[in-house]
Amino acid sequence: MNNNSKVLALKYRPQTFDDLIGQEVVAETITNSIKADKIPNAYLFTGIRGIGKTTTARIVAKALNCSNGIDNLCKKNFCENCKSISESSHIDVLEMDAASKTGVDDVRDLIEFSRYGPTSAKYKIFIIDEVHMLSKQAFNALLKTLEEPPEYLKFIFATTEIKKIPITVVSRCQRFDLTRIKSSELLEFIKKIKNKENGKISDDALKLIVKISEGSVRDSLSLLDRALLSLDEGKELDLNSAQKIFGYFDKSQLIDLFELILKGEEKKVISIYRKIYDQGVEPKVFINDFLELLYYFKNINSLTLESTNFSLNDEEFSKIKNLSNQIDTEVLILFWQFSISSLEEIDIVSNQHLSIEMFLIRLMHLSSVKSGNKIEKVEVDLKGENLVKNTETELTSKTINQIKNVAQEEKTKPEVQIEIKAVHKININAFEDLIEICAKKKEIKLKYELEKNVNLVKFEKNRIEISFNESLDKDFVKDLSSKLFDWTGERWIITFSKLKGQMSLKDKEKNVKKQLIDEMKNSEIFKSVIDRFPDAQLIDVNSNKDGVDND
């Protein structure tokens, strides 16, 4: 095949360790191990798609079998072995796709073939791509050969899903985790390729390619190939044209839309969204980009322009930074919850476009702007279904009558009912109060979770902040929120924090018990017991709180 007719991902595929980008540590480690003649029985390369797993496997095969040796590896003029490996035609280097050959019989054929030594190279090498696709029986058949192969046999595995490989296989391999390519490094790389291909593409368009590729070299080259093919002769591809080609829209539009949502300008919000929709942006893509924007608003002060993966330009970055100072963090968290729940709702509605418009209108009802652009505090339950807006004015009698009328109409629908009744409020001012009320109300499951799996970060009026704990019951937050509302008549916000919370009550009890046991072990009484009974063990200590001698 003519080299110019190849797609860019194949045309510029790395052929040596020097050509690899972003994997310098892996390359250096493998080179050093070969030089020291400490070559593992099997290599295992893992990571996301398109970062060089199979490519690195071939380069390792070349390094092991190069006719010039490890100190003089082929760079440009390849020896016969390196050339054959590059073309996947070497008789001693077998490449196998585990996605199409998953069975135990395929592995048995492989093992049978391994009985014979290499024909023309130093090592016989089996490269198995997407190795996680092998069946359980196939992995089991491979174990013995993998652990004690002949000296001439080496395995090289590549996978995107390391968790699907049995630990017995992983432990027999030397594992290398290939990392995503840094945005700045990937940008420089595709710039060089663009120049070699004589393409005219603006830096902003290249940054968009880097953002979409998410650290994958193959993805970035495929997108660059597509961009170069769409170019008119002598014309530069700018950001606007690139956004149309790849189905992305200008982030500044989304920032303007977000600002208008906060101001409650419904007509302008819907107008901007319809323009975005007319550009061919899918509703799910829109919500995911909206979630990304919420993340930037929440964390902009701890980010740099490069850390946004070129998702924002200088102007957009500055605008978000200025706006973020005027927005309450609670509002951003509520917006995030609403956006996540709307992703699930999209699949229910046949016309997803209408669903997004209603999503934006609902967001506007979550917030309003006071004089001085200060957001009013808004509280929402976890499902985002019931809203309570704190205002400083009392409801007029007219509004009360309207609520009564709505309540009377809704009572005709059995699935949606509004019930107004007097609630005996319980004051819960501390974490200990909460546990006590759970005990009184016989909410044993909640009490157990609070005592054993909750690491408290902060307890405030109508707000509980806890550390994330994998052992916590999945319905804990929902159940606790519901009970708190029943008991106090008020909405409570329960959030997870990255901060390390306090030790759970059960862990505190264990620590106290351990401390008592340690103190008792140092006492004279215990030492005298050990002298008489050397095999005795101190299991528990009961403190005599009443001061009564029970001996």
Per-residue pLDDT, 310: 62
Tell me what the mean pLDDT of segment 231-235 comes to.
75
User: In the 8-state DSSP scheme, what is residue 550?
Assistant: -
* Residue 218, in any domain of the structure: yes
Q: Give tens-digit pLDDT for 368-412.
A: 533 334 434 334 443 444 443 443 333 334 433 443 444 444 444
Residue of 243 and 138 predicted with greater confidence = 138
For 426-438, the pLDDT digits (tens) are 888 888 888 888 8
Q: What is the pLDDT of residue 364?
A: 85
Query: What CATH number corresponds to the domain at position 316?
Result: 1.20.272.10
192 CB-near residues (< 8 Å, 6+ apart)? none
Hey, how many other C-beta atoms are within 10 angstroms of the C-beta on 47?
22
Residue 283 and residue 379 in one domain: yes
Name which of 367, 375, 265, 255 is nearest 321 in CA terms. Answer: 255
In which band, very low, low, confident or very high, does the pLDDT at 191 lie, cut at 50, 70 and 90? very high
Q: Is 534 inside any structural domain?
A: no
Does position 60 have pLDDT exceeding 50, yes or no? Answer: yes
Asked whether residue 432 is assigned to any structural domain, the reply reads no
pLDDT band with cut points at 50, 70 and 90 for residue 543? low
Q: Are residues 109 and 195 in the same domain?
A: no
Say what percent of the chain tops pLDDT 90. Answer: 26
Q: What is the amino acid identity at position 152?
A: Y
Q: Which two tokens stand for residue 201?
A: 């593409």
pLDDT for 159 equals: 94
Choice between 537 and 306, residue whose per-residue pLDDT is larger: 537
pLDDT at 458 over 60: yes
Q: What is the mean pLDDT of the chain?
A: 81
* Residues 204 and 256 grouped into a single domain: no
My answer on whether 81 and 25 are in the same domain is yes
- Sign for the CA dihedral angle at 430, 431, 434, 440 comes to negative
HEC per residue, 196-234: HCCCCECHHHHHHHHHHHCCCHHHHHHHHHHHHHCCCCC
Q: Cα 34 to the chain's mean position, in Å?
A: 35
Residues of the domain holding 355: 251-388
Same domain for 153 and 193, yes or no, is no
Q: Which residues contact 447 (CB under 8 A, 6 or more apart)?
A: 435, 438, 439
Pair (120, 194) in one structural domain: no
- Could you give the CA distance from residue 39 to residue 174 in angstroms, rounded to a whole number? 9
Model pLDDT for residues 279-333, shown as the tens digit of each residue: 777 888 888 888 988 888 888 888 776 666 666 767 778 888 888 888 888 888 8
Which of 120, 144, 177 delimits the end of a domain?
177
Same domain? For 286 and 200 the reply is no
N-to-C CA span, the chain: 95
pLDDT tens-digit map of 486-500:
888 888 888 887 777
- In the structure, what pLDDT confidence band is assigned to residue 164 with cuts at 50, 70 and 90? very high
CA 25, chain centre distance (Å): 24
Distances (CA, A) of 6 to 2, 10, 53, 55, 207: 7, 6, 20, 16, 24
Domain assignment present for residue 398? The answer is no
Specify the pLDDT at position 6.
Answer: 81
| CATH number of the structural domain spanning residue 230 | 1.10.8.60
Answer yes or no: is 528 within a domain. no
Which band of pLDDT confidence, cut at 50, 70 and 90, is reported for residue 160? very high
Give me the number of domains the chain comprises: 3
Greater model confidence, 262 or 375: 262
Q: How many helices (H) and strands (E) does the chain have?
A: 23, 10
| Residue 1 neighbours by CB distance under 10 Å | 6
Cβ count near 185 (within 10 Å): 13
Task: Output the pLDDT for position 309.
Answer: 61
Q: How confident is the model at residue 4 (pLDDT cuts 50, 70, 90)?
A: low
Do the beta carbons of residue 86 and residue 58 sit within 8 Å? Answer: yes
Q: Are residues 54 and 161 in the same domain?
A: yes
Domain's final residue, options 246, 266, 296: 246
- Name the percent of the chain in helix, strand, coil, to the closest 5: 50, 10, 40
Residue 368 in 3-state DSSP? coil
Q: Are strands 42-46 and 174-177 parallel, antiparallel or unpaired?
A: parallel
How far does Cα 221 stand from its chain's mean position? 24
Q: Are residues 257 and 241 in the same domain?
A: no
Report yes or no on 106 lying in a domain. Answer: yes
Q: What is the DSSP code string of 132-164?
A: GGS-HHHHHHHHHHHHS--TTEEEEEEES-GGG
Residue 245 clears pLDDT 60, i.e. is over it: yes
In degrees rounded to 5, what are phi and psi of residue 534? -60, -30
Query: Are 49 and 198 in a shared domain?
Result: no
Q: Find how far residue 8's CA is from the centre of its chain.
A: 29
> What was the pLDDT predicted at 193?
93
Both tokens assigned to 489:
């008549």
How many CB atoms lie under 10 A from the CB of residue 528? 10
Is 466 inside any structural domain? no
Q: What is the rounded CA–CA span in Å between residue 503 and residue 454?
A: 8
* Residue 401 CB coordination number (10 Å): 10
Task: Please tell me whether residues 279 and 377 are part of one structural domain.
Answer: yes
- Asked if the structure places residue 99 within a domain, the reply is yes
- Phi (first) and psi of residue 397, to 5 degrees: -65, -30
pTM here is 0.59
Phi and psi torsions of 33, nearest 5°: -65, -35
169, 132 Cβ separation under 8 angstroms: no
Residue 186 in contact with residue 215, Cβ under 8 Å? yes
For residues 259 and 155, membership in a common domain is answered with: no
User: Among the three residues 342, 367, 388, which one is the final residue of a domain in this structure?
Assistant: 388
